[in-house]
Amino acid sequence: MKNILEALLLTEKAAQEQVATARQQADSLIQQAKDEVQRAEQRFALRIPEIHDAYVDKARQQAKMHIAELERHYDERRDELVKMAEARHQETLLKAAAIILDPQQL
């Protein structure tokens, strides 16, 4: 019986040592993971200005494209209005000349 109890005690002690070792390994893995997360966060924090600059550059490029499109649109519309004004001006001159030459057209 004494041998059985001693064997059980030895087994229990070995199991406790294994549990302690496993806990230490788990704690070590957890700490490694925390350290890696912290390093990743630091790398990301260092990249924030780069990411921000890239976003701003893209926004500026898009704004330039929109401005160019608006300018093209307004230039086309201005050309149309100028052509319409010139056509009306020519018509007005012809009508005015006709009235001057033949006042009875009034």
- Express each pLDDT in 15-54 by its tens digit: 999 999 999 999 999 999 999 999 999 999 999 999 999 9
Alpha carbon 19 to its chain's center: 49
Domain that holds residue 58: 2-105
Residues 6+ away with beta carbon under 8 Å from 106: 99
- The Cα 67–Cα 58 span in angstroms is 14
Give the tens place of pLDDT for each residue, 47-84: 999 999 999 999 999 999 999 999 999 999 999 999 99
pLDDT in the model for residue 106: 67
pTM above 0.75, yes or no: no
Domain count, the chain: 1
